[in-house]
A and B are shown apart, each in its own frame.
Chain A
């Protein structure tokens, strides 16, 4: 990724030397756009607030349904609140409230036009209606509306070629996923003879094993593409990186999790835990996605691309938890399965909180510097201290370290994976240790990734002028990020606050859901216990003790010197060119995992004229590639192109021939329909 250079000049910069005549007009325009920003942000927040209320009502166990038969021809629109849907409405709504506040400030800085601002509330509304859909047609309708409205947000900066390319990837992959979901859900409706989810659940017992399997595979593929899971993940790093940051936050924290909603709703809830290999397939897809995502994130140098790959990793971990829950249920260990499911759902919520914060902070950085490339950032801690601290909260959460937001859910996942397998159960005895290895490696590499993002991007010295002259974000953006950080902290220290929600889910899902308990989290089915709040307090007091230790003998010391020159092993005149960059930081990872990352290297040597040895110039580039794209997408594209070329032979351009085709086709239909 060394070679990706993104420089988005803030629009406000371009207006530096404007003639005085247009000044007044500009001011009027600015006032109007500020008002539009406030309205757009408020609309998004209000829709989100409605979602939060609906989510809480649904989780409280109030069932409510609405049928609008006239709204859509033939099938109508059916809405229904369920506890499971309520959890996702709560998550989406909370994300939207915060992103709405943020986008009011973000738009004012000239980074979001009126059109995306107007689309954002609609996008949030469709995301809230997906988990509220009570029937297959409504679900598909909302799903597609969500895809289209998010597509518009991705294309907000469509004047740049990268954005258009990201849009094409997103459109193609999301519709491949939609096709799979459409086929799967149509089969489900046809097999049960009804379109209402509530009635499907009753009638599912009559559906044969073959049909269930086909539905499972199709829906896992389709929903997996929305959740950024392999193999249909390629849209995610592109779309998340190229969309405006508030939209990236909405997509990564809320929309992507709806893919997981689909998997839980259709594959775990309606189809039931299913045979053992279903759980194994989910576990494998999750494990491969988690490892692939985190390895790509560890070598990415574009901050938003790094965060996007980290989304793939986290959704992979959630799927590992869901797969483990299914596998454990089919092995009869319902206590442990409950733990795995609780881990997965908690991780979804926690990921939403820290990833939203990380994308919002990345947006502030892009706003202040016009840069996303870690190799050109650095030194932001001095210029943007609040943003830096808040990104630090997000990075701590994403790294899954104690005191951070991601720790408890990853701990629960590990707890659900360590247990004594039943006698003679070779499959479990082999699967669970390997799953632990996968989770551990993704946590470890995740730590590398987040240290790189925070340490290279925000600490050290600025590597470019843009980074050196960054300015702190405005008040609405800081307020929104502080709110997100508050959510992260609450989830990190008092995760048991979510117990009522988990209990409500446990009453409705076929797989049980564990609850966390009080200050000490030691759920039934697990082997250990932790107390995150006590750990945080202990860590704080231990650090204070350590600081006190370093003050021993301070009375005898000469007065402290600040701003002493760096020693740097005696080197003088250090420049920022000598600093470690994100690429160099990730080089050991790239080298260790070169078999997976397949870095492309190319070396060009320009020799001096007439000499075989005298080299004038040398350039070496290495960048990691996406092995899945190279080995899965390209062959498929080649095949499609070859088939298309073959079909094209029939298209000669002669109208008479086309008429013959039409006539023959009509004859065939008539003969068949006779």
Chain B
């Protein structure tokens, strides 16, 4: 058991590394089919990565080490989150090292590295993307932390392993008013943080409307590969976390054997695939919001999170 628990973080990192391009591929393929196109196939992001990794590495003039290291920091923060959060087991040795607040902080480190990489190029579009991306991240912060609060209250802990284990023990707690509100708030924030519709359009070719893409315009070759890999990993790990926070069925606990771990791995992959299908399907039907309407969306999700926390407190005090 303990050996399995020790191996679990490494397995999670490997799973996210390998699976992330496929998640991006699923979302693109769903979109293509719903729009009446054949699509490039689920494995296309992997083929793109292979292509980029074989290209020449370029360092644009006037950029510093910040530009060169930014993709590695974005990818590194996503990988560290993948090691920490309970995807396969709630009994990870890393669980006590970081709680949900720390995970949110690691996510912000990735956003900051992306923005600094964009600013370091000194081009107008890099600065523009950095300014927009970081503003949205700042405005999403209150919602995220309040959702954390709402999720920590029933479990009595802000450590992810404990929260997920508590929900796995009593799955109906999430089907409450606070649970639903927190889910919607968290989903909105994930969409904003990973640059999906309606906040940002990942497949846009129009620079003036770009947010995330504008920051990586100057990247090419291996660094671009790492950047795209990293954004797919961010999306994957956040979807997996969302799945396990609200539907942790089948996650391996303290007493699970090798079979339990295997089942948990298959289940989390299936849950992420379903979420990717749903999200990809929804994206077909929404248009990108104007940049200055995004704060309204985030303010709305903040109100939802606030309601989630206060109702959660009231329910708790009514029961307790």
Contacts and interface: CB of A to CB of B under 8 A. Distances in A.
A201 to B, nearest CB: 36
Given A418-B153, A563-B59, A585-B131, A553 B50 contact: yes
Given A440-B145, A543-B73, A546-B230, A455 B96 contact: no
Interface string B124-153: 111110111011011111101110110011
Contacts of A551: 222
A528 B66 contact: no
A423 B314 CA distance: 8
A547 B116 CA distance: 18
B225 A528 contact: no
B8 interface: no
A456 B302 contact: no
Interface in B150-209: 152-153, 156-159, 207
Interface stretch (B28-36, B100-108, B242-250, B267-275): B100-108
B171 to A, nearest CB: 21
Interface stretch (B39-47, B253-261, B305-313): B305-313
B196 to A, nearest CB: 19
Interface stretch (A231-239, A276-284, A430-438, A617-625): A430-438
Contacts of B4: none
Identify the interface centre among B66, B135, B144: most chain A CB within 10 Å of its CB. Answer: B135
B62 A549 contact: no
Contacts of B292: 588, 591-592
A545 B122 contact: no
Given A415-B158, A429-B314, A531-B98, A566 B80 contact: no
Contacts of A455: 115-116, 119-120, 130
A433 B306 contact: yes
Given A403-B109, A433-B310, A556-B54, A527 B72 contact: no
Identify the interface centre among A542, A556, A563: most chain B CB within 10 Å of its CB. Answer: A542
Contact of A440 (B61, B94, B141, B220): B141
Contacts, number: 300
A321 B220 CA distance: 46
A451 B112 contact: yes
Given A433-B310, A546-B72, A566-B60, A420 B134 contact: no
A448 B61 contact: no
A414 B144 CA distance: 13
Interface in B4-34: 13, 17
A399 B122 CA distance: 22
Given A587-B131, A589-B135, A429 B310 contact: yes
B77 interface: yes
A423 B320 contact: yes
B304 interface: no
Given A560-B57, A585-B127, A580 B119 contact: yes
B71 A550 contact: yes
A472 to B, nearest CB: 15
B222 A579 contact: no
Identify the interface centre among A402, A407, A415, A421: most chain B CB within 10 Å of its CB. Answer: A402
A539 interface: yes
A568 interface: yes
B138 A447 contact: yes
B66 A542 contact: no
Contacts of B225: 550
Given A429-B310, A527-B158, A580-B131, A411 B102 contact: yes
B283 interface: no
B46 to A, nearest CB: 12
B96 A520 contact: yes
> For the side of the interface on B, what is the size category?
35 or more
A580 B317 contact: no
B317 A445 contact: no
A355 to B, nearest CB: 19
B317 A429 contact: yes
Interface string B223-246: 101100110000000000000000
A451 B131 CA distance: 9
A73 interface: no
Contacts of B57: 554, 557, 560-561
A258 to B, nearest CB: 30
B91 to A, nearest CB: 15
Contacts of B276: none
Interface string B59-99: 11110101001011101110110011000000000101111
B265 interface: no
A70 interface: no
B139 to A, nearest CB: 7
B55 interface: yes
Interface string A430-465: 100110110111011101100100111001110000
A447 B141 CA distance: 10
A576 interface: yes
Contacts of A552: 53
Contact of A592 (B72, B97, B139): B139
B79 A451 contact: no
B122 A543 contact: no
Nearest to A591: B292
A456 B119 CA distance: 7
A208 to B, nearest CB: 35
B259 to A, nearest CB: 29
19 contacts: A433-B306, A433-B310, A437-B302, A444-B140, A451-B112, A455-B130, A527-B159, A529-B159, A545-B79, A546-B75, A550-B225, A553-B53, A553-B222, A563-B59, A580-B126, A584-B127, A585-B127, A586-B131, A592-B292
- Listed from nearest, the 9 A-B pairs whose CB atoms lie closest are A580-B127, A444-B141, A528-B99, A444-B138, A528-B158, A455-B119, A543-B76, A542-B76, A546-B75
Interface of B: 13, 17, 50, 53-62, 64, 66, 69, 71-73, 75-77, 79-80, 83-84, 94, 96-102, 105-106, 108-109, 111-112, 115-116, 119-128, 130-132, 134-135, 137-142, 144-146, 148-149, 152-153, 156-159, 207, 217-218, 220-223, 225-226, 229-230, 291-292, 295, 302, 306, 309-310, 313-314, 316-318, 320
Interface of A: 378-379, 381-382, 399-403, 407, 411, 414-415, 417-418, 420-425, 429-430, 433-434, 436-437, 439-441, 443-445, 447-448, 451, 454-456, 459-461, 520, 522, 527-531, 534-535, 538-539, 542-547, 549-554, 556-569, 574, 576, 578-580, 584-589, 591-592
